[in-house]
Structure 1
């Protein structure tokens, strides 16, 4: 159930990435592509802010009132507001629904990871948590196939032209039905039930777990280190990697125009190429996550993160610098997916190993979701670069240089590993 919640969470994230520009193009009548593109970054930033807020709230509530109960609520929130995006008429209500969707999306990871970490046997924990992140690529790929189906229906006239994005968001409401299964079958972990029986759950509502983390030096240090490491990956993905599609749109369009294709043919060729490239990107991500899970078990967590962040820095910068054609993207983007998303398997494995049961959901959610605020700032910063530093939004040079400049974030993650505790072959920490 936890894995399904995360699967649909990632499907929802990808549906938003695929639909945000078509949605804003339809909602912002008369706006230029530059204005739509910049607004796309800003709506993404609002989504990430909601994500961060949701993570901070529901992580603490999960420790206080139960992981399973809160997971049910977060799934209901993100599916409901994804579905409501179907009814958007203006960019501001679309942005509001995306913000509220983010609140639900943000709560899932910390709850799901804590549930799995506290449920499976110790010997299976690394593999189970790494596999949870691999499942995210299946959600992303599923969203892409859904997008292809909706595009086909729109092209055939079943869906009105320019309205396909609405149906993508309506599909995103399906996880609400998952709530019935979660409520009926999902149980709280034994470790959490024992804490409840002994009266050792954190008191003080939503602030109690945070006070527990901050007042004890060991957990406070782990909180800071875990937050910096996780934020590095989150910013790398959402403030850098997520806009690879924007660069592809510009580069692929120029490539197909140079071949003498007409406007309709260029559009069709671009869509087909971007879909194929994204599929390869996700295959690379799945392999990268599997490889990172193996590294964590073989070399330890600290060494694995150094290798992962160093690889992400080099490969991401080279891809943004050198990408020129769809053919190049077919092998470059899988590499970038592998190095950028590989470390996310490490977050699933490492973060629950930093905190005790009574504070685990709070600690994991805080570390994983604090980076959403940084990524939101990165999105706003990237939009500012687009408008005032590297030229207008449609410029390939802007896309390249702003992304390459922001790759410096991976150096911060490498430095943070110096203070990170090694948790390989150690049990989950308790009091």
Structure 2
């Protein structure tokens, strides 16, 4: 193996990396950034796609289908994380990362050609397979390839840069806001297919980290421990506890974000529509305004996310992982309840920034903390398990939100007087959605429970057998 890169405390960490270190960081960050672009394009295109592929259904039925589409995608994501995390430990991070990028790019493009909901659901599930593999692979690649002194800061920055993909998705949605919603969703999925070209660069230049090569060689020796083995991950108490507790830590944030946070557009759109209607705009102008402001909401949320993730990284480096996680979970809960109860018009768009700051700050913690719980031979497997298997549980979040909204909405509408008009019923259903989101955001408290049993890793080297 090569000599470890010496650390000079008088220089910033980023000035002490070689050109190849930066190349690895760029490829891993780009793969994750495009992955996030794909996720957000789906969020922005989902409702219009469901409407186009399920004509004749009422709004509540389409809302349930939208929730199921999200759940199918998230379940595919979880499955892909389980599969490709282990594959990455066994055959290499670089090869597997290229494969996952190719999968999610290909099936994102194919999603635009779906002619019914069945096809759409299949393509989204297959897209999820590729999407799910990227995070664990990208994090393990950077953790193993960069010097120890740069690892936590680089991983926090990698996660923060994912906000660029999210913001880009919002800008793309703004660009097509004037296009007929029945076809604009197709354009967004075509944009999501572009990252396939990244695979060429991954395959041509990216090498497997020396740490991984050494662990692979050791596994071939007599008595060597298996690479990417779930039997080993759960068969050894040293790794089993962090895997289960780390998974619960991620479940809290993933359900909160994907089951509640990323459904903020379902509040923003009708609230904005109501505000625009009060300005006596035409139905076409209101529809365009709704799409524009939904994209603006996503952009503002992810600007907040960028600063939240940078802040978490700096705070975790100074104060430790656990106290910062605890603060972030409480802030995520408070900001989510505040947003869903108080957002009412375009003047309130700043609330999206606060919620994005608090909710997505947690994900910088996962990039930093999860690799510190597992050895090289299980790093991709362990990180992917924690970050992705919880998505099987998280997949129920959108469905639960949809069902809870439908139940509370039906109850609220039934309580209205018989003379209530369509506007009153719509207002009652919107209040029901606000309350459903607030109830479900209580999942952030699960993170505090899991955190109590996990170790503090600040200042410790990456663990090995």
For normalisation by structure 2, the TM-score amounts to: 0.88
Q: What residue number does 1:75 align with?
A: 101
The alignment status of 1:174 with 2:200, answered yes or no, reads no
Q: CA deviation at 1:419?
A: 0.6
- Taking the aligned partners of 1:6 and 1:172, their CA distance within structure 2 comes to 13
The alignment status of 1:274 with 2:286, answered yes or no, reads no
Q: Which of 307, 313, 331 is equivalent to 2:333? A: 313
Q: Which of 395, 398, 417 is equivalent to 2:432? A: 398
The alignment status of 1:353 with 2:387, answered yes or no, reads no
The alignment status of 1:96 with 2:130, answered yes or no, reads no
- Taking the aligned partners of 1:66 and 1:59, their CA distance within structure 2 comes to 10
Q: What residue number does 2:464 align with?
A: 430
Q: What residue number does 2:350 align with?
A: 331
The alignment status of 1:20 with 2:46, answered yes or no, reads yes
When Rg is computed on C-alpha atoms for both structures, the one with the higher figure is 2
- Taking the aligned partners of 1:204 and 1:22, their CA distance within structure 2 comes to 46
Q: CA deviation at 1:242?
A: 1.0
State which drifts further: 164-173 or 282-291. Answer: 164-173
Query: What residue ranges of structure 1 are gaps of 5+ in the alignment?
Result: 156-160
Root-mean-square deviation over aligned CA pairs:
1.7
Q: What residue number does 1:367 align with?
A: 386
- Taking the aligned partners of 1:84 and 1:268, their CA distance within structure 2 comes to 26
- Taking the aligned partners of 1:268 and 1:162, their CA distance within structure 2 comes to 12
**Closer, same or farther in 2 for the Cα pair 1:371/1:390, shift >3 Å?**
farther
The question of whether the paired residues in 1 share the 8 Å contact of 2:250 and 2:390 is answered with yes
- Taking the aligned partners of 2:219 and 2:332, their CA distance within structure 1 comes to 44
Q: CA deviation at 1:249?
A: 1.2
- Taking the aligned partners of 2:219 and 2:196, their CA distance within structure 1 comes to 33
> Which secondary structure state, in structure 2, belongs to the residue aligned with residue 425 of structure 1?
coil
The question of whether the paired residues in 2 share the 8 Å contact of 1:390 and 1:402 is answered with no
Q: What residue number does 2:142 align with?
A: 116
Q: CA deviation at 1:217?
A: 1.0
State which drifts further: 142-151 or 295-304. Answer: 142-151
Q: What residue number does 2:56 align with?
A: 30
Q: What residue number does 1:341 align with?
A: 360
Query: What residue ranges of structure 2 are gaps of 5+ in the alignment?
Result: 1-26, 414-424
> How many pairs align?
422
> Which secondary structure state, in structure 1, belongs to the residue aligned with residue 203 of structure 2?
helix
- Taking the aligned partners of 1:144 and 1:39, their CA distance within structure 2 comes to 23
- Taking the aligned partners of 2:127 and 2:84, their CA distance within structure 1 comes to 14
The question of whether the paired residues in 1 share the 8 Å contact of 2:269 and 2:290 is answered with yes
The question of whether the paired residues in 2 share the 8 Å contact of 1:200 and 1:358 is answered with no
State which drifts further: 297-306 or 276-285. Answer: 276-285
- Taking the aligned partners of 1:60 and 1:81, their CA distance within structure 2 comes to 22
Q: CA deviation at 1:259?
A: 3.1
What do residues 44-76 of structure 1 show as CA deviations (whole Å, max 9, x unaligned)?
Answer: 000000000000010011111111111111111
Q: Which of 401, 406, 409 is equivalent to 2:443? A: 409
Q: CA deviation at 1:268?
A: 2.8
Q: Which of 182, 185, 194 is equivalent to 1:162? A: 182
State which drifts further: 366-375 or 341-350. Answer: 366-375
Q: What residue number does 1:158 align with?
A: none
- Taking the aligned partners of 1:203 and 1:53, their CA distance within structure 2 comes to 24
The alignment status of 1:61 with 2:61, answered yes or no, reads no
Q: Which of 138, 147, 151 is equivalent to 2:173? A: 147
The question of whether the paired residues in 2 share the 8 Å contact of 1:287 and 1:338 is answered with yes
Q: CA deviation at 1:351?
A: 0.2
- Taking the aligned partners of 2:446 and 2:218, their CA distance within structure 1 comes to 41
The question of whether the paired residues in 2 share the 8 Å contact of 1:51 and 1:369 is answered with yes
The alignment status of 1:234 with 2:260, answered yes or no, reads no
The question of whether the paired residues in 1 share the 8 Å contact of 2:219 and 2:226 is answered with no
What do residues 160-217 of structure 1 show as CA deviations (whole Å, max 9, x unaligned)?
Answer: x721211211121111111111100111111110122233598779xx6111111111
> Which secondary structure state, in structure 2, belongs to the residue aligned with residue 151 of structure 1?
coil
- Taking the aligned partners of 2:182 and 2:444, their CA distance within structure 1 comes to 38
- Taking the aligned partners of 1:73 and 1:283, their CA distance within structure 2 comes to 30
Q: CA deviation at 1:374?
A: 1.6
The question of whether the paired residues in 2 share the 8 Å contact of 1:53 and 1:106 is answered with yes
